[in-house]
Amino acid sequence: MDEMTEHEKFLWDELSAANDMMLRNAFLLEDYIDYINAAGLREEFEAFRKVKAQQEANKSS
């Protein structure tokens, strides 16, 4: 296989870093969801989301 050029290596490193960051965010989100469910806060969270969606809708009107 051919060696990567400096530009290709730079792009590969940037892509790898972005992928790592997205994986960390996904794991963090999964932990938040597990916490919400374990703490029995699912109903409160759903109510919060409805209020937030309504506030966003009111802002755009």
Hey, where are the domains in the chain? 6-60
- DSSP H helices in the chain: 6-38, 42-60
Non-local CB neighbours of 42 within 8 Å, separated by 6+ positions? 36
Question: How many angstroms separate the CA atoms of 6 and 4, rounded?
Answer: 6
pLDDT (tens, 9 = 90+) of the chain, 61 residues, equals 579 999 999 999 999 999 999 999 999 999 999 999 999 999 999 999 999 999 999 999 8
The model carries a pTM of: 0.65
Are 12 and 4 in contact by the 8 Å Cβ rule? The answer is yes
